[in-house]
Amino acid sequence: MDVGTFDTQIPVLGEAKITSPIRKIKKRTFGFVSDDERVPVDSDLHKLRERFAKNMEIPSFERAGPREKIYFDTSKLRCALVTCGGLCPGLNDIIRAIVLELNHSYRVRNIYGIRHGLEGFIPEFGRDVVDLNPDVVVNIHEMGGTILGSSRGPQDIEEIVDSLERMNIGILFMIGGDGTLLAASKITDAILERNLKISVVAIPKTIDNDIHMVSRSFGFHTAVEIATEAIKAAHNEAQGYPYGIGLIKLMGRYAGFIAATAALARQDVNFVLIPEVDFDLKGENGFLQALEDRILERGHAVIVVAEGAGQKFFEGREDEYDPSGNIRLKDIGLFLKDSVMGWFSEKDIDITLKYIDPSYMIRSLPANASDRVYCGFLGRNAVHAGMAGKTRLLIGRWNEQFVHVPMSASTGRRKKVDYDGRLWLSVMDVTGQGAMKNSPEAKS
């Protein structure tokens, strides 16, 4: 991943002067983290040695974790949580981890859940506020979705800050994707302009695992696990018929991490199509010809396509947008299904094609064990950061450590599968697929 150059400094609301209640409540005198503990942004040892030898600064993130001194008086503190955007396995686990850590480690009693995303801050929507405590969240990790509900679309930033001010909120925890991170940054700007002492801490959410400067986002492992079951079903269907084809569409608007990783997990896949890697449909070296060659040689095939792949085939069609301003992707899954059936019909080759789209089922499921553990770390570290008075940051994992990432480092940028990287080269090896690109003069 190209880490680029950016400021890794995390803003604070003021000096942290209050001794953390963790010392007394949990009788802990160890495990606290200093702001001086850093995690290098670049993991390349050669580059690090080179910079060190030249007396150059080594960019690094603050390590996440509890601080010995905190900023907020926990007896008076009020916190709010909000979940935004699409559903993702682990949302309830994050909510649960934040509430339990606030309550049990810091004795914070006033914790409010904002209903249905940023709409919940806007009076005209009339959304109720949920009082969150351990009894409310004790079993929510066993449920999919989010107990707070969600919504898409921008809301008036000034009205949101008005609401925070009226509620006397000290820490706002925002759980969401790229649009939420952008909103969180704008909310922080408005808070600063009003000279308010409100910490804004984000927990990045995207099932696609494409948030820049975050090595792994929660829900991704669950998505891959369930996607492999869909691949298994498609493979069984394909093998069950003469010239059988299984076609699975998976999540991945701009990045093919789920498709690529699931294909490696099952190794029953013959073609993986992702947004980062261009391919042609027809022509001597196009996808359909490669599929025909596979079918005639082996008698069956399995195809995995990420939802954002092949959007060039819809050029000329009018764009549509969702409430958040994102372009609604054209359905590459159904397009490929029709294209494959038409291709083989013209060749008078009788195929059986089974199409599977498990996307929304995956998004709404509870997290698996791996993601549950991961969500716990994210939620607890978000609480520690907020209690220390840190703001304008998100909690991420980098070089095997949980860290504080400035919002500016991730907002508006996406992580993508590297065409020359280990992940995609492994996919090419396992599937045996070629580039599936024609020369410029060939028909595409």
Per-residue confidence of the chain (444 residues) as pLDDT tens digits?
445 556 889 999 999 999 999 988 877 778 899 999 999 887 655 554 555 555 556 789 999 999 999 999 999 999 999 999 989 999 999 999 999 999 999 999 999 999 999 999 999 999 999 999 999 999 999 999 999 999 988 899 999 999 999 999 999 999 999 889 999 999 999 999 999 999 999 999 999 999 988 889 999 999 999 999 999 999 999 999 999 999 999 999 999 999 999 999 999 999 999 999 999 999 999 999 999 999 999 999 999 999 999 999 998 777 777 666 677 899 999 999 999 999 999 999 999 999 999 988 898 999 999 999 999 999 999 999 999 999 999 999 998 999 999 999 888 788 999 999 999 999 999 999 999 998 775 444
178 and 282 in a single domain? The answer is no
Dump strand ranges (E) for 288-400: 300-306, 352-356, 393-398
- Specify the pLDDT at position 444: 41
pTM recorded for the entire structure: 0.91
307 and 354 in a single domain? The answer is yes
Whether 439 is in a domain gets the answer no
- Specify the pLDDT at position 248: 97
- With beta carbons less than 8 A apart as the criterion, state whether 41 and 127 touch: no
Whether 296 is in a domain gets the answer yes
Q: Which helix (H) or strand (E) holds 423?
A: helix 422-431
Residue given tokens 């789920």 in the structure block: 258
Residue positions counted in the chain: 444
98 and 247 in a single domain? The answer is no
Q: Considering its fold, how many domains does the chain have in total?
A: 2
- With beta carbons less than 8 A apart as the criterion, state whether 48 and 16 touch: no
**What strand order describes the sheet that includes 244-250?**
271-273, 300-306, 244-250, 352-356
CA–CA separation, 99 and 135 (whole Å): 10
CB under 8 Å to 305, separation ≥6 — which residues? 247, 248, 249, 250, 259, 272, 273, 274, 332, 333, 336
Per residue, the 3-state secondary structure of 326-349, as one string, reads: CECCCCHHHHHHHHHHHHHHHCCC
Q: Which of 293, 256, 337, 290 is nearest to 435 (CA)?
A: 290
One-letter amino acid for residue 66 of the chain: P
147 and 205 in a single domain? The answer is yes
CA–CA separation, 227 and 233 (whole Å): 10
Whether 343 is in a domain gets the answer yes
Q: Which of 2, 35, 131, 208 is flagged as catalytic?
A: 208
208 has catalytic annotation: yes
Q: Which of 83, 130, 138 is nearest to 111 (CA)?
A: 130
Whether 248 is in a domain gets the answer yes
179 and 321 in a single domain? The answer is no
- Using DSSP's 3-state secondary structure scheme, residue 247 falls into strand
CA–CA separation, 230 and 138 (whole Å): 31
Whether 436 is in a domain gets the answer no
Q: Which of 229, 243, 232, 240 is nearest to 301 (CA)?
A: 243
Burial class (CB in 10 A: 0-12, 13-18, 19+), 123: exposed
- Structural domain that includes position 380: 18-217+367-410
157 and 247 in a single domain? The answer is no
Burial class (CB in 10 A: 0-12, 13-18, 19+), 239: middle
202 backbone dihedrals φ, ψ, rounded to 5°: -110, 145
139 and 273 in a single domain? The answer is no
Whether 441 is in a domain gets the answer no
- With beta carbons less than 8 A apart as the criterion, state whether 178 and 209 touch: no
CB under 8 Å to 259, separation ≥6 — which residues? 227, 250, 252, 272, 273, 274, 304, 305, 306
CA–CA separation, 216 and 422 (whole Å): 16
CATH of the domain at 283: 3.40.50.460
Whether 159 is in a domain gets the answer yes
396 and 293 in a single domain? The answer is no
One-letter amino acid for residue 36 of the chain: D
Residue given tokens 């405590």 in the structure block: 133
- How distant, in Å, are the alpha carbons of 106, 148, 215 from that of 136? 18, 11, 31
Whether 437 is in a domain gets the answer no
CA–CA separation, 180 and 172 (whole Å): 13
CB under 8 Å to 381, separation ≥6 — which residues? 64, 65, 395, 402
54 and 182 in a single domain? The answer is yes
202 and 231 in a single domain? The answer is no
- Specify the pLDDT at position 28: 74
CA–CA separation, 416 and 3 (whole Å): 12
336 and 405 in a single domain? The answer is no
> Can you say how many angstroms the Cα of residue 298 is from the centroid of all Cα atoms in its chain?
37
CATH of the domain at 379: 3.40.50.450
- Using DSSP's 3-state secondary structure scheme, residue 176 falls into strand
310 and 427 in a single domain? The answer is yes
Helices (runs of H) and strands (runs of E) counted in the chain: 15, 15
